[in-house]
């Protein structure tokens, strides 16, 4: 069994953040029915890879929601679903008559998740956004940079992942709440707030101590540490991340590195000294790491009990990392066409009722017939007529 | 109204690696009891400190991660302390820990032993690489986990080093997945009557918070590079206005954007009908962002963003995090929750709900003083 066996999710989400939420629900055993539109954005092969990892284990039905017959089918599916979720701008579901006030009429205990950029209330509620613009508004873009340097990060929409993963927590909590109270509810998830909620203590610091945040490169944001950051290794684009917090760790680090003269520099003998002279220390460490293979230096330091790790690129992560391989983080999934595709699996493990990739990503509209006949009892003739009218894809 | 997890009892033994999980569960209404060693949680020694002065009640880092938890001190690394921990676990729903694999079992407090006395207990472990696999005993910091989980390689300029994120995002993602795992295990318990283990690896949690990196490798063998703020889809890039940075976007209403530029006498060549196709705009990103930047220089960030949003083009100001503190939108939504710290005579605006369950409000409360609830919690055992 899986934790969400018997839960049905009607999933209007697209792009990344919403699909991230519903893929976790699918991994946990929910029946996720993805309601899709013609010509909506995807990222190539729907079975595996990026799109497949976002849509894994979901069923797909293509409905024309601009046609009253299509909208009626969506409403009837909502009436037999536990969770209805979208990540459109706030007004879209309201205009379609699929917002919480409408859904609760046909499914009183529905959990309705509205995943928007800015939420359902507030002066900016109709602003349009994507992950990168939300990261810009919340400080990530400005502060992921070298000291005094121009913005340099994120290279991707982390905000969609933070919002999507937190969205799954929201749905699970709402399901728990419904089991105990019998009540469904509206969930107002503003991705601006999810990504603000994971900033960390910096907001308290600015609120209480004033001042302006400035980029700090790869300096530690937890306990003071030096050396701390990434250092170049032998070869092209090979880097190692190293963190040394304590004096005991520093001694082990120095021994592991073979005790070069600079490790005995008295300026580096204490944590305070190392942090004060971090720039000089970083230069020395980098000079040493340049002669090392990243994997070998990582193993050397880890054997000495030092937090050190390869800065993994896609190939390191997906094809070389023995730890993720041992934990079967990436899984091979057969497709109905007889191919095998690679897909990201759930990143946490439950010992008794584990989540699992239920299947590859669906083709557009692949499950229309089984969804309409199985859930709504619609016959083959009517399905054919709906398809001929292009209400159904 | 009560929180969604009202009545769920959580023991939180974790350090900074796992602290976010308990914070989320406390926000959802669970009774989260932070179990600190007698000298205090290691988080209490992590800066920044109130007024820059170190002290166990002055760490803003501790405050952020411990808001809404109760706090007890218990030296569970001793035999007597471990016995008390077992008694606490016997009446808890959830225990969260972040010790090296095997540590709690060595003290007679492993999940199997605890579940022998309390079969309904869910035990969530948050460790650098998880409970299994060749690296299970290896160490990590947030930065090392970001590196090994694939987040860092794609952040930074082409000719610069990989950059870690703002905020401890390896720890935060692990905390989110631990909370997801815990609530999943509680839901499963409704059916099975038994608790289970939730095994969270920082590295895997980071890998579970990537977007294009694994997918494009699986799909086409692409090793995603660093390319500064140019988003991997090539539809977003940071540019420069008269008074600061702005996030450009070539999705949304492109025609309106070009008309706007043309009205300013700019954007020559951008009315090419081929550019109405987003795939063409993706391919020509370098040229488009250069043209947008030349045009943006005549505007302030606010002018440009307001004009773009009026045309439904997703532009945004590149702001520092503190801009959120005076953002009228968040103010109207009440995102920050003022919490009294009476000992310091302070009111602290805590970041609030990451999402709003309208029938089960998010809970924000003051972090515990060292040992504040020890007597209360031990009395509950009696």
Q: CB A190 to CB B355 under 8 A? A: yes
What mean pLDDT comes out for the span A250-263?
Answer: 98
Give the residues across from B112 on adjacent strands: none
Same domain? For A76 and A190 the reply is yes
Show which of A320, A351, A368 is a domain's final residue.
A320
- Other CB atoms within a 10 A radius of the CB of residue A370 amount to 11
Which structural domain, as residue segments, surrounds residue A242?
228-320
Residues 6+ positions from A105 with CB-CB distance below 8 Å: none
CA dist B297 and A168 (Å) reads: 41
Q: Is residue A211 part of a domain?
A: no
Backbone angles phi, psi at B269, to 5 degrees: 85, -10
With beta carbons under 8 A apart, name residues in chain A contacting B1.
Answer: none
Residues A83 and A131 in one domain: yes
The share of chain A scoring above pLDDT 70, in percent, equals: 99
Interface residue B252 vs chain A (CB under 8 A): yes
B contacts of A272 (beta carbons < 8 Å): none
Taking CA–CA distances from A146, the nearest residue in chain B reads B163
Using an 8 Å Cβ cutoff, are A249 and A255 in contact?
A: no
Are residues A49 and B199, on separate chains, in Cβ contact within 8 Å?
no
Same domain, A247 and A296: yes
CB-based contact, A262 to chain B, within 8 Å: no
Alpha-carbon distances, residue A382 vs A64, A366, A376, A388, B87 (angstroms): 16, 17, 12, 10, 62
Instruction: Note whether B353 contacts A193, CB cutoff 8 Å.
Output: yes
Mean pLDDT, chain B, integer: 97
Q: How many structural domains comprise chain A?
A: 2
Do A26 and A141 belong to one domain?
yes
The angle at the Cα of A226, spanning A225 to A231, to the nearest 5 degrees, equals 120
Nearest CA-CA partner of B186 in A198, A350, A329, A112: A350
Of A49, A170, A230, the CB nearest to B219: A49
Indicate if A24 and A138 belong to the same structural domain.
yes
Q: Answer whether residue A217 is part of any domain.
A: no
Of residues A185, A200, A347, nearest to B360 (C-beta)? A185
- Place domain B9-209+334-381 in its CATH homologous superfamily: Crotonobetainyl-coa:carnitine coa-transferase; domain 1 (3.40.50.10540)
A290 and chain B in contact, CB less than 8 A: no
Instruction: Answer yes or no: is A375 within a domain.
Output: yes
Mean pLDDT estimate for chain A: 97
Do A27 and A148 reside in the same domain of the chain? yes
d(CA A47, CA A118): 31
pTM equals 0.98
Of A123, A170, A222, the CB nearest to B142: A222
The Cα–Cα gap between A327 and B127 comes to: 14
Do A239 and A118 have their domain in common?
no
**Chain B CB contacts of A49 below 8 Å:** 215-216, 218-220
Indicate the pLDDT class of residue A316, thresholds 50, 70 and 90: very high
Q: CB of A273 within 8 Å of any CB in chain B? A: no
CB contact under 8 A, B351 and A310: no
Q: Do A306 and B354 touch (CB under 8 A)?
A: no
Q: How far apart are CA B334 and CA A117, in angstroms?
A: 16
- Please tell me chain B's helix, strand, coil percentages from 3-state DSSP, rounded to the nearest 5: 40, 15, 45
**B 72-101 residues inside an 8 A Cβ radius of A:** none
Q: Do B64 and A145 touch (CB under 8 A)?
A: no
A384: distance to nearest CA of chain B, Å?
33
User: CB–CB of A207 and B322 under 8 A?
Assistant: yes
| Among candidate residues B22, B154, B9, B20, the one with its CA nearest the CA of residue B93 | B9
Where a domain ends, among A320, A355, A370? A320
Instruction: Nearest by CB to B357, from A144, A174, A329: name it.
Output: A174
Q: Are residues A236 and A161 in the same domain?
A: no
Instruction: Judge if A176 and A252 occupy the same domain.
Output: no
Q: For residue range A100-143, list pLDDT tens digits in order.
A: 999 999 999 999 999 999 999 999 999 999 999 999 999 999 99
d(CA A91, CA B365): 33
All structural domains of chain B with their residue ranges = 9-209+334-381, 236-318
A202: pLDDT strictly greater than 80: yes
Cα separation of B139 and B142, whole Å? 10
Query: For residue B34, what are the β-bridge partners?
Result: B12, B71
Task: Identify the pLDDT of residue A384.
Answer: 98
Residue A148 at interface with chain B, using a CB cutoff of 8 Å: no
Q: What is the band of A89 on the pLDDT scale with cuts at 50, 70, 90?
A: confident
- Could you say which residues from 202 to 231 on chain A have a Cβ atom under 8 Å away from some Cβ of chain B? 202-209, 212-213, 217-218, 220-225, 228-230
A209 domain residue, yes or no: no
pLDDT along chain B (382 residues), means of 10: 96 98 98 97 98 97 98 98 98 98 98 98 98 98 98 97 98 98 98 98 98 96 97 97 98 95 94 94 97 97 97 97 98 98 97 98 98 98 88
A297 in a structural domain: yes
- 3-class DSSP state for residue B124? strand
What integer is the mean pLDDT of A242-271?
A: 98
The enclosing domain of A46 has a CATH number of: 3.40.50.10540
Tell whether A91 and A235 lie within a shared domain: no
Interval A65-78: pLDDT, tens? 999 999 999 999 99
Using CB atoms, pick whichever of B136, B188, B328 lies closest to residue A123. Answer: B328
Quick check: A206 and B177 CB within 8 A?
A: no
Among all chains, which residue has been given the structure tokens 């398809």?
A: A387
Q: Do A155 and B231 touch (CB under 8 A)?
A: yes
CB atoms within 10 A of CB B233: 22
Which residues of A participate in catalysis according to the annotation? 160
Contacts of B65 in chain A (CB under 8 A): 201
Strand A307-310 to A239-243 pairing? antiparallel
- A165/B208 CB distance under 8 A: yes
Q: Within 13 A of B84's CA, how many CA atoms are on the CB side?
A: 18
Residue B305 sits at the chain A interface (C-beta within 8 Å): no
Q: Which runs of consecutive H residues, i.e. helices, occur in chain B?
A: 19-27, 60-66, 79-90, 103-106, 111-117, 142-148, 169-192, 202-207, 213-220, 254-263, 278-283, 285-296, 301-310, 328-333, 374-381
Check CB contact of A178 with chain B, cutoff 8 Å: no
What pLDDT shows up at residue A39?
77
Q: Kindly state whether residue A205 falls inside one of the protein's structural domains.
A: no
User: Is A345 found in the same domain as A315?
Assistant: no
Residue A40 has pLDDT above 80, yes or no: no
Residues A94 and A125 in one domain: yes
Q: How far is B78 from chain A (nearest CA, A)?
A: 23
- Is any Cβ of chain B less than 8 angstroms from the Cβ of A39? no
Q: Is B194 on the interface with A (CB under 8 A)?
A: yes
Asked if the model's pLDDT at residue A241 lies above 90, the reply is: yes
A248 close contact with B: CB closer than 8 A: no
CA distance A378 to chain B (A): 32
- How many contacts (CB atoms, under 8 Å) link A and B? 528
pLDDT for res B363: 97
Measured between beta carbons, which residues in chain A are less than 8 angstroms from residue B127? none
Q: CB within 8 A of B306, min separation 6: which ones?
A: none
Nearest CA among B256, B231, B243 for reference residue B312: B256
CB contact under 8 A, A189 and B236: no
Mutate to test the interface with B, among A15, A237, A306, A323 (most CBs of B within 10 A): A323
What architecture is domain B236-318?
Answer: 2-Layer Sandwich (3.30)
B312 part of contact set with chain A, CB < 8 Å: yes
Q: For residues B36 and B73, is the Cβ–Cβ distance under 8 A?
A: yes
CATH number for the domain including A266? Answer: 3.30.1540.10
List chain B residues with CB under 8 Å of A150.
238, 245
Residue at which a domain ends, from A320, A342, A363? A320
Average pLDDT in the A198-212 region?
A: 97
Across the interface, whether the CB atoms of B217 and A223 are under 8 A apart is answered no
């Amino acid at each position: 069994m899986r934790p969400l066996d018997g839960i049905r999710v009607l999933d209007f989400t697209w792009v990344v953040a919403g699909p991230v939420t519903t893929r976790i629900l699918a991994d946990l055993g929910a029946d996720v029915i993805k309601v899709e539109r013609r010509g909506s954005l995807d990222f190539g092969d729907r079975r595996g890879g990026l799109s497949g990892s976002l849509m894994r284990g979901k069923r797909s039905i293509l409905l024309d929601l601009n046609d009253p017959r299509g909208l009626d089918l969506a409403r009837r599916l909502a009436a037999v679903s536990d969770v209805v979720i979208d990540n459109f701008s706030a007004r879209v579901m309201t205009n379609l008559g699929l917002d919480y006030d409408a859904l609760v009429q046909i499914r009183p205990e529905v959990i309705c998740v509205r995943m928007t950029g800015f939420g359902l209330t507030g002066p900016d509620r109709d602003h349009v956004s994507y992950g990168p613009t939300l990261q810009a508004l919340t400080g990530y873009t400005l502060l992921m940079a070298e000291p005094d340097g121009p913005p340099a990060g994120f290279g991707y929409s982390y905000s969609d992942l933070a919002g999507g993963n937190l969205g799954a927590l929201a749905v699970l909590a709402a399901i728990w709440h419904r089991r105990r109270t019998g009540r469904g509810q509206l969930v107002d998830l503003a991705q601006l707030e999810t990504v603000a909620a994971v900033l960390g203590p910096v907001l308290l610091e600015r609120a209480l101590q004033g001042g302006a945040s400035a980029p700090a490169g790869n300096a530690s944001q937890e306990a003071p540490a030096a050396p701390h950051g990434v250092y170049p290794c032998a070869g092209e684009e090979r880097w190692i991340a190293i963190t040394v917090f304590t004096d005991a760790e520093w001694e082990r680090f120095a021994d592991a590195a073979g005790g070069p003269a600079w490790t005995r520099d008295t300026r580096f003998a204490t944590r305070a000294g190392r942090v004060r002279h971090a720039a000089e220390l970083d230069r020395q460490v980098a000079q040493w790491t340049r002669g090392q293979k990243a994997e070998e230096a990582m193993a050397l330091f880890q054997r000495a009990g030092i937090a050190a790790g390869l800065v993994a690129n896609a190939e390191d992560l997906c094809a070389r990392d023995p730890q993720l391989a041992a934990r079967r983080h990436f899984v091979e999934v057969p497709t109905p066409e007889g191919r095998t595709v690679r897909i990201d699996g759930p990143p946490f493990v439950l010992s008794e009722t584990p989540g699992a990739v239920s299947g590859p990503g669906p083709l557009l509209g692949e499950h229309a017939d089984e969804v309409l006949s199985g859930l709504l009892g619609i016959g083959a003739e009517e399905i054919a007529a709906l398809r001929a009218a292009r209400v159904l894809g | 109204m009560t929180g969604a997890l009202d009545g769920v009892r959580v023991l939180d033994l974790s350090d900074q690696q796992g602290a976010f999980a308990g914070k989320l569960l406390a926000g959802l209404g669970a009774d989260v009891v932070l179990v600190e060693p007698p000298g205090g949680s290691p988080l209490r020694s992590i800066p920044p400190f109130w007024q820059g002065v170190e002290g166990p009640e002055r760490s803003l880092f501790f405050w952020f991660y411990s808001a809404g938890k109760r706090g007890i001190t218990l030296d569970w690394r001793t035999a007597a302390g471990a016995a008390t921990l077992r008694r606490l676990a016997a009446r808890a729903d959830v225990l969260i820990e972040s010790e090296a694999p095997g540590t709690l079992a060595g003290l007679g407090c492993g999940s199997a032993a605890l579940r022998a006395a309390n079969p309904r207990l869910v035990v969530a472990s948050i460790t650098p690489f998880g409970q299994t696999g060749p690296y299970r005993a290896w160490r990590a910091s947030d930065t090392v986990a970001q590196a090994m989980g694939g987040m860092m390689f794609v952040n930074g300029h082409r000719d610069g080093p990989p950059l870690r994120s703002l905020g401890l995002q390896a720890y935060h993602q692990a905390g989110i997945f631990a909370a997801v795992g815990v609530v999943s295990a509680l839901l499963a318990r409704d059916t099975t009557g038994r608790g289970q283990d939730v095994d969270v690896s920082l590295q895997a949690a980071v890998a579970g918070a990537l977007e294009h990196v694994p997918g494009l490798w699986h799909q086409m063998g692409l090793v995603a590079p660093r390319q500064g703020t140019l988003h991997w889809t090539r539809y977003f890039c940071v540019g420069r206005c008269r008074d600061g940075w702005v996030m450009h976007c070539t999705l949304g209403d492109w025609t309106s954007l070009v008309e706007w530029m043309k009205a300013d006498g700019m954007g020559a060549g951008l009315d090419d009908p081929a550019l109405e196709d987003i795939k063409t705009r993706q391919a020509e990103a370098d040229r488009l962002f250069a043209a947008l930047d030349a045009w943006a220089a005549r505007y302030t960030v606010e002018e440009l963003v307001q004009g773009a949003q009026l045309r439904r083009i997703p532009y945004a100001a590149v702001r520092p995090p503190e801009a959120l503190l005076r953002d009228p939108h968040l103010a109207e939504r009440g995102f920050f929750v003022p919490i009294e710290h009476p000992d310091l005579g302070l009111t602290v605006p805590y970041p609030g709900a990451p999402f709003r369950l309208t029938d089960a409000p998010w809970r924000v409360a003051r972090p515990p003083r060292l040992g504040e609830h020890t007597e209360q919690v031990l009395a509950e055992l009696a």
